[in-house]
Amino acid sequence: MGARRYLLSKFLQAFATLLFVLTFNFFLFRVLPGDPIGLLARSQRLTDADIAEQRATLGLDQPLPQQYVTYVEQTVSGNLGVSLRTARPVWGIIASRLGPTLLLVGLGTLFATVLGIMIGIKGGWQRGSRFDTSTLYGSLVLYSMPEGWLGMLLLITFAGILGWFPAGGYSSGGDLTGVARIVDIADHLFLPVLTLTLGYIGEYAIIMRSTMIDTVNEDFVTIARAKGVPERMVRKHHVVPNAFLPTFTLIFLSLGFILGGAVVVEAVFSWPGIGLLTYNAIQTLDYPVIQGVFLLSSAAVILCNLAADVAYGYMDPRVREA
């Protein structure tokens, strides 16, 4: 009964948060100065009558509360509307950017997580060693480095000076198919993924190291050693599972942020992800696209947070019993 109440309360909290985000997003972007249709006036030679007609067609002439009601009704029915700029369905626009985003941010997060945790475990276990000192300082340097700057350094070195990698983009396009196309995309993907990995590896390494150091000093570890359990078994079965809990939550939150893209890295490497899509949509006041992207990424974070809460309850019995 306790577990069921726990789950139910978590679901309700997530739902309430999502509703709040829906509302907040809607009003937030309308605070931005300018009129999205008026913005097209010069480039498309729109008269005042044209602008009024387009605003009416798109429902932008309605009072704000009415626009909000329409927005909620459409969103609940799965309709994210059409782009004010291109008149294309927002779902289609976002879907076309999902693949590149998942590739870039997904792989970057995966590598940063796995490698960061491995480094943190070893560093925390061998505290004070040369490995620990070097990786700690390395992690601090990398984590404090702006991703955009790091990306530009890698681009200049490996694409500019050495010419080993392309200068940007998703693929060379053209008539590449099959394995050649996969290799080509991987060629373009390498530097941006490396940038993200190096940019976030420090976060996981430092947190994992810190919790390892805390856990190593716990009583149950002392008892395990006193019983004669080999050091590698102590680390693997006693220390790491307990030290991993905070990192576990961080991983789920990071997974949620994947769908938000990585706008700075995408901009440096001309990667067609959701981050750049969001940036361009904000510049052109394309409300439906901005709303769609923010809804998607907010929902992803909320859902992953919920998953973390639920999974945490199973991993740590103390949370369930509380």
Partner 1 sequence: MRAGGRRNRVRTTIAAATAVLIALAAGGTLASAQDASDAPATDVPVVLTVGTTVDLITDNPFAVSAGSDWTVVTAQYDMLLKFDDASLSPAPSLATGCDPNDDSTVWTCTLRDGLKWSNGSPLTSRDVAFSYRFIIDNNIPQYRSDFKFNPTFETPDDHTLIWTSEEPTFAPEMPPWAYIVPQKVWQGVDGKGLQVIKAQPNTPSIASGPFVLTEWNQGQGWTMEKNPYFWGQEPGVDRIDFRVYSNQEAMTQALRNGEIDVADGIRPSLVNSVDGIDNVTVQKVISDWWLNLAFNFGGQGPDANPLPALQNLDVRKAIEMAIDKQAIADTVYQGTATPGDTIIRPASAFWHLDIPADEEFPYSPDDANALLDQAGYVDTNGDGIREDPSTGDPLQMTIPASSDTTGAVEAGQLIVGYLQAIGIEVDLKPVTDAKMNDYWGAGNFDAYIWYWSGNPDPNYQLFVFTSDQCGSWSDGCWKNPAFDKLYEEQGKEFDRDARQKIVFDAQRLVYEQVPGVVLAYPGWVQAYRSDRFEGWTPAPGDHGYLMPGYNYDSLVSVHPVASSSGTAASSSSVPGWIWLVAIAGIALIVVVVVRRGRRGDLDEA
| 102 lies in the site for partner 1, by CB under 8 A | no
| 277 lies in the site for partner 1, by CB under 8 A | yes
- Asked if 122 contacts 138 with a C-beta cutoff of 8 angstroms, the reply is no
| 70 lies in the site for partner 1, by CB under 8 A | no
230 vs 216: CA distance, rounded Å:
14
In the region spanning residues 214 to 273, those forming contacts with partner 1, defined by CB under 8 A, are: 230-233, 266-273
| 180 lies in the site for partner 1, by CB under 8 A | yes
| 288 lies in the site for partner 1, by CB under 8 A | no
- How many other CB atoms are there within 10 angstroms of residue 81's CB atom? 19
Residue-wise DSSP of 21-81: HHHHHHHHHTTSSS-TTGGGHHHHT--HHHHHHHHHHTTTTS-HHHHHHHHHHHHHTT---
| 159 lies in the site for partner 1, by CB under 8 A | yes
Q: State which of residues 43, 77, 144, 217 lies at the interface with partner 1 (CB under 8 A).
A: 43
| 172 lies in the site for partner 1, by CB under 8 A | yes
CB of 295 to partner 1, least distance (A): 20
| 54 lies in the site for partner 1, by CB under 8 A | yes
106-142 burial, b if ≥16 CB within 10 A, otherwise e? ebbbbbbbebbbebbbbbbbeeeeeebeebbeebeeb
Q: State which of residues 21, 22, 29, 40 lies at the interface with partner 1 (CB under 8 A).
A: 40
| 52 lies in the site for partner 1, by CB under 8 A | no
- Size of residue set near partner 1 by CB under 8 A: 74
| 129 lies in the site for partner 1, by CB under 8 A | no
200 vs 108: CA distance, rounded Å:
8
At a CB cut-off of 8 Å and minimum separation 6, what does 144 contact? 202
Q: State which of residues 4, 5, 45, 318 lies at the interface with partner 1 (CB under 8 A).
A: 45
| 173 lies in the site for partner 1, by CB under 8 A | yes
Q: Which stretch binds partner 1 (CB under 8 A): 45-53, 103-111, 118-126, 304-312?
A: 45-53
At a CB cut-off of 8 Å and minimum separation 6, what does 42 contact? none
